[in-house]
Amino acid sequence: MSKSGLFKSSIGRKLAMALSALFLMIFLLQHLFINLTAVFSEDAFNELSHFMGTNPLVQFVAQPILIFAVVFHFVMGMYLEMKNRAARPIAYKKVNGAANSTWMSRNMAISGLVILAFLVLHFIDFWVPEINHKYIAMAPEDPTRYYGELLHKFSNPARVVAYIVAFGLLALHLLHGFGSAFQSMGQNNKYIDGLKKFGVFYSIVVPLGFILIAIALYVTGLK
């Protein structure tokens, strides 16, 4: 089968979906590291944020790739979900799905849509103001502004609750998706159990890290 034929097939689409998922998981780790510095060092967070916000490779190469990966992952996920539902026989609906699958696997589309809504909020909170600040308002760059802006965003308890709910659902989404990604890439072998265990660790620790950061920033803003 040619490469173009592979990516037109169900297996090829699942492989592309898995690769985009792994790319986004790596991005989450990088994002977590930068946000974590805000809890321990205002200066370190400002320096890292200034670098990420002004580096041409990040702005004009990595950022468009990230946006494409996010859109592709969720669009492909919804497409595969619709294909799977269409392929199921009507009698399947009468079967108790909980007896054969987990809640996470049956509701990946729902958790995915909620996470996508959160990402839209996140873009409105941070990405859109950055674009406006640098390319529309053409405001002079202040390398010390990032920490204060972040603290201001998390002074709103409703926003903190939204982040907590979203990252809780992200944990559930990852718990199922991590193992599925490796299976789609053909790693359903003797190593899959170890990868799944690492996936459980990642799926809990990374979202929990973001939740604790949001709470810590909110508490810091109250002082």
**Over the stretch 173-197, which tens digit does the pLDDT of each residue have?**
888 777 666 665 555 566 667 777 8
Does residue 22 carry a pLDDT above 60? yes
Q: Which residue has the higher pLDDT, 166 or 223?
A: 166
Exposure on the CB side of residue 180, measured as CA atoms within 13 A: 20
- Look at residue 1 in the predicted model and tell me its pLDDT: 47
Listed range (1-10, 60-69, 154-163) with the worst mean pLDDT: 1-10
Q: Give the residue-averaged pLDDT of 91-98.
A: 49
Q: Which residue has the higher pLDDT, 194 or 51?
A: 51
Residue 11: pLDDT band with limits 50, 70, 90: confident
Is residue 169 packed enough to be buried (19+ CB in 10 Å), middle (13-18) or exposed (0-12)?
A: buried
* CATH architecture for segment(s) 7-87+103-222: Up-down Bundle (1.20)
Does residue 206 carry a pLDDT above 90? yes
Cβ-based neighbours of 98, under 8 Å, separated by 6 or more: 106
Q: What is the mean pLDDT of the chain?
A: 80
Q: Give the residue-averaged pLDDT of 41-68.
A: 91
Q: Give the residue-averaged pLDDT of 203-210.
A: 94
Q: Are 26 and 19 in contact, with CB atoms under 8 Å apart?
A: no
Residue 220: pLDDT band with limits 50, 70, 90: very high
Q: Are 112 and 173 in contact, with CB atoms under 8 Å apart?
A: yes
Listed range (21-35, 90-104, 114-128, 184-198) with the worst mean pLDDT: 90-104
Q: Give the residue-averaged pLDDT of 93-116.
A: 61
**Among residues 119, 149, 110, which one has the least CA distance to residue 31?**
119
For residue 98, give the DSSP letter.
Answer: G
- Look at residue 157 in the predicted model and tell me its pLDDT: 93
- Look at residue 92 in the predicted model and tell me its pLDDT: 47
Chain segment 127-143, per-residue pLDDT in tens: 888 888 888 888 888 89
- Look at residue 170 in the predicted model and tell me its pLDDT: 87
Does residue 154 carry a pLDDT above 80? yes
- Look at residue 41 in the predicted model and tell me its pLDDT: 95
- Whole-number Å distance between alpha carbons of 141 and 63: 19
Q: Which residue has the higher pLDDT, 201 or 126?
A: 201
